[in-house]
Structure 1
């Protein structure tokens, strides 16, 4: 749970091109937050509290299984409800109250967690109160809802929704045949004449939780990526694709380059130019990168990879040189040649946090001159062996 090399998370939005008006889905790049590790640990601890709900769906396959054996009457109606902007609209008071009530009513969970309910809620409060983010060089504090992409957001939202669900279903009409939910999407089967009154009660129960409704058309209703269709008194299912889906995919077994098969959209389009709303991150603040440090006096380069910020990693290199740490390839080069490294012009070559060592291997082959090596901190024996193979041609 201890924070590592952290920065203030950046805020940006992703356009929902399938919705009218193209609203933005707010996103906070939470991985760089000081509370990211804490939020991830709490999410893991709290997740067992929400997995036992009979109404919660785990995926589309689970949804299809729930529809088996459902018998429809002529006056039954298929309906879906969708919470508007659930993560950013849930009141934090409701989240805290629901979380405390859920934790206190689970003595077995508290025994296993080795923390009291007060201690757990203190950590939850810390995550909810530390929702600072940066947008266009200004710092903001999110006071409503949970931050998008935070590991704990889904769990806390699920706890709050389950509590809210219990209150709502107390007033549900007896004709309600099915109520299943995936995060903020609800699939319901009930009598036609009761749909509108029930929908009104949903939106008056809590002003912060406002639902949108979609009814079946011609006996068909999409839910998640499933198209549900009436077939007499039973239901059939098929694959559903939104209108913007092109159904064009490259065969992964083809001879196209792997990078083309992973993504084949052009980099420069009018849409990308108009929706480029992410703040630019400076090279010094980038994390999970492959970087290059050149020598001022010769054409030798040091290629390294780090999960930290580039500025932090460069400072570690400079300190290693300052304390004459002979395990440093940079120090050995400067000692043997009397040269000086060009720290000011160190640059990021690749921003790929998942395959940095492989990226460094490819980058090193671009140099005809010597490559000093790659940082070897925190590598196990297999990684060391792989590293030596990567740079055997350059050393």
Structure 2
């Protein structure tokens, strides 16, 4: 089994436990019906032909020898008790070419929607766009907080991909299409390779052109045509957003983004108790993070902001501490916020092989590039130098354990620091207390500490 959220680590799970979770998921029923329905009478060949025909109608080459996907579960090892994430997908799915095209377009519209919301925020100072792509903006915002009364609310949407009615998804995505196309002064969008842009007059002949109603039709088609196999039976997902489809993260993200935008537009005005606190709210698809001295009020409005079929499960047990994505957040006694790197695998009761062994068949350069990338990630997430030092020591120690020569590790560590002056700038106080030779001395100490440990 594979847990994608924690870095694609291979693991095994109890077959009986796996089957129990799968049967429970496939038979889950809400007041509006089951998420998955068995389609014994449906002809898989006709379904695939329908997928290919619809894909071709937009000039998109269909999947060669495409198949209907399978439903499978992957364990979420960082949860206690362990839960499963259910995926409907295949590398050769007949819907893949269409979903890849929609993914590109939705990413483009996501950027437009972000700029649209930020432009309004520049006037009224009220954040109405929570969606983030990484923790970079989060770290920037948290570094400015100085409030002893700050509390953290961190939660995830447990039913976003399995219980949200399709009509709600379509309503929100269609609203977004209408709003963005109107703002752009265009009814068409054109895709040229990986590039996407508006085409006001539908005059572009070198790419695939889509009217906004075409995009609505594609979203509807993908939601209605989520078929998958499990145990030799064909199922259709009737509710939720099918995980495994290339465009699913964007559909889910933008659906929630529209809910947030509409609620704030209709209910939050300048002077509202939450008008400023919303600037400390962030969401990465189905993971929500909020920090302010009005956390209780924010938790209350989420019941009105999001559709009633969505369940928010709080993930932090302490109001002063939380993990959010790959970052650990702590509100100190002085009111400042400290951040550091968080790895879900640190909470596992077993060791995890995270990087390639020096003597493996994987090129050494890949391991060293990973080392470089990890140092950058540590630097971005750690607000204190001691946290950066501790995490980098652990990283160096791990690479020495998997037989990377000390000289090679030292060279890459030194190279990373020299090529990333932002590290020295961020931890300027520490740098100022040492000689101009601090860089080589610093990394020498890292290597020696790693070797001694």
Q: 1:89 maps to which residue?
A: 163
Distance 1:190 1:250 in 2: 35
Structure 1 residue 58 displacement after superposition: 1.2
| Structure 1 unaligned residues grouped into runs of 5+ | 264-395
Aligned with residue 110 of structure 2, among 45, 50, 65: 50
Displacement of 1:210 in angstroms is 1.1
Q: For residue 174 of structure 1, what is the aligned residue in structure 2?
A: 273
Q: How does 1:67-146 map to 2 (within 5 A)?
A: 67-72=142-147, 74-107=148-181, 108=184, 110-113=187-190, 114-146=209-241
Q: Give the 3 Å change call, closer, same or farther, for CA 78–250 of structure 1 in structure 2.
A: closer
Q: Which has the higher helix share?
A: 2
Shift of 1:139: 0.3
For the residues of structure 2 that align with 1:79 and 1:115, how far apart are their CA atoms?
40
Distance 1:112 1:253, change over 3 A: same
Paired residue for 2:359?
Answer: 255
The verdict on how the C-alpha distance between 1:145 and 1:171 changes in structure 2, with shifts beyond 3 A counting, is same
RMSD: 2.9
1:20 aligns with 2:57: no
Shift in Å at residue 33 of structure 1?
Answer: 2.1
Among 207, 217, 222, the alignment partner of 2:318 is 217
Shift in CA distance, 30/253, structure 1 to aligned 2, threshold 3 Å: closer
Contact 1:78 1:216 in 2 (8 A): no
**Residue 64 of structure 1: how far off its partner (Å):** 1.6
Q: 5+ residue gaps in structure 2?
A: 1-59, 115-128, 191-208, 368-453
The alpha-carbon distance between structure 1 residues 8 and 66, as it changes in their structure 2 partners (threshold 3 A), is same
Larger Rg: 1
> Deviation string for 1:45-103 (max 9, x for gaps)?
2211112424221113332223232232x322111121113222222111111111111
User: What displacement does 1:160 show?
Assistant: 0.6
How many aligned residue pairs are there?
Answer: 260
Measured in 2, the distance between the counterparts of 1:127 and 1:250 equals 35
**What is the match of residue 376 of structure 2?**
none
Distance 2:215 2:352 in 1: 47
TM-superposed deviation, 1:158 = 1.5
Q: CA deviation at 1:182?
A: 0.9
- Measured after TM superposition, the shift of residue 184 of structure 1 is 1.0
Please list the CA deviations of residues 165-221 of structure 1 after superposition, one character each: whole Å capped at 9, or x if unmatched: 124445566242511111111111232xx5345424423552211101244637322
Q: CA deviation at 1:106?
A: 2.1
Question: CA separation of 1:160/1:57 partners in 2, compared to 1, >3 Å: closer, same or farther?
Answer: same
- What is the CA distance between 1:131 and its match in structure 2? 0.2
Deviation string 1:292-342 (CA, Å, 9 cap, x unpaired) is xxxxxxxxxxxxxxxxxxxxxxxxxxxxxxxxxxxxxxxxxxxxxxxxxxx
Inter-partner Cα distance in structure 2 for 1:240 and 1:99:
33
SS of 1:11's equivalent?
strand
